[in-house]
């Protein structure tokens, strides 16, 4: 298992500069067997998320890099999958919390149990949550792995967007 971890670490060290040059953070790298091929999964994220076009661009750059360093994966052919983290990614780093601003999260807090609140802001030392109408600043040392909660209908907000809201208003005036 150590050699697998060392191999993954070497691969991450090779790929990370390409990801950083594109303006993203490398969240994870994994290599697994998929039949006669290796499946190389690269997870990246950015301050404003990652679009499909951006994933395709980074995928091409990583593929070119891996092809140029064919010894890093051995002689076995590989399939490259470049993706962004899903909503179920645990919030463990300050950058994860910053990117979750405005989202409802569930997080274990030392000495309190699990807390449900909305992320108002986050910096390098703490996250500010709104919990039951109260603002709470919590240092990362007190927080466990946070989880974004999927909200299908956020109450108290116009989720239609300004264009649709104006369109609905115009219809009402008729």
Q: Is 98 in the same domain as 38?
A: no
Q: 61 in a domain, yes or no? A: yes
**Tally of domains within the chain:** 2
Q: Is 76 in the same domain as 40?
A: yes
Q: Looking at the predicted structure, is the pLDDT value of residue 24 above 80?
A: yes
What's the rounded Cα separation, in Å, for the pair 39 and 75?
14
Q: 79 in a domain, yes or no? A: yes
Q: Is 18 in the same domain as 61?
A: yes
Q: Which residues span the domain enclosing 118?
A: 94-148
What's the rounded Cα separation, in Å, for the pair 13 and 11?
5
Nearest to residue 115, comparing CAs of 106, 104, 102?
A: 106
Residue 100 burial (CB < 10 Å; 0-12/13-18/19+)?
buried
Q: Is 53 in the same domain as 26?
A: yes
CATH number for the domain that contains residue 62 = 3.30.300.70
Q: 129 in a domain, yes or no? A: yes
**Scanning the structure block, which residue is given the tokens 């500069």?**
17
- List pLDDT tens digits, range 103-161: 999 999 999 999 999 999 999 999 999 999 999 999 999 999 999 998 887 665 544 33
Q: What is the pTM of this model?
A: 0.66
Amino acid 89: pLDDT: 84
Nearest to residue 50, comparing CAs of 5, 77, 82?
A: 82
Residues 6+ apart with CB under 8 A from 131: 115, 116, 117
Q: Looking at the predicted structure, is the pLDDT value of residue 1 above 80?
A: no
Amino acid 156: pLDDT: 56
What's the rounded Cα separation, in Å, for the pair 64 and 82?
13
């Amino acid at each position: 298992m150590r050699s697998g971890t060392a191999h993954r670490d070497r691969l991450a060290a090779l790929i990370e500069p390409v990801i950083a040059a594109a303006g993203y953070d490398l969240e994870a790298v994994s290599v697994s067997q998929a039949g006669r091929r290796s499946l190389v999964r690269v997870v990246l994220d950015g301050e404003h998320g990652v679009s499909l076009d951006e994933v395709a661009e980074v995928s091409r750059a990583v593929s070119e890099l891996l092809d140029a360093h064919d010894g890093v994966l051995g002689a076995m052919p590989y399939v490259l999958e470049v993706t962004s983290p899903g909503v179920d990614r645990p919030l463990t780093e300050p950058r994860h919390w910053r990117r979750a601003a405005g989202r409802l999260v569930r997080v274990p807090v030392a000495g309190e149990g699990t807390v449900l609140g909305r992320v108002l802001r986050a910096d390098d030392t703490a996250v500010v949550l709104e919990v039951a109408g109260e603002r709470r600043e919590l240092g990362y040392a007190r927080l466990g792995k946070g989880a974004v909660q999927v909200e299908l209908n956020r109450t108290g907000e116009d989720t239609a967007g300004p264009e649709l809201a104006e369109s609905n208003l115009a219809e009402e005036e008729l």
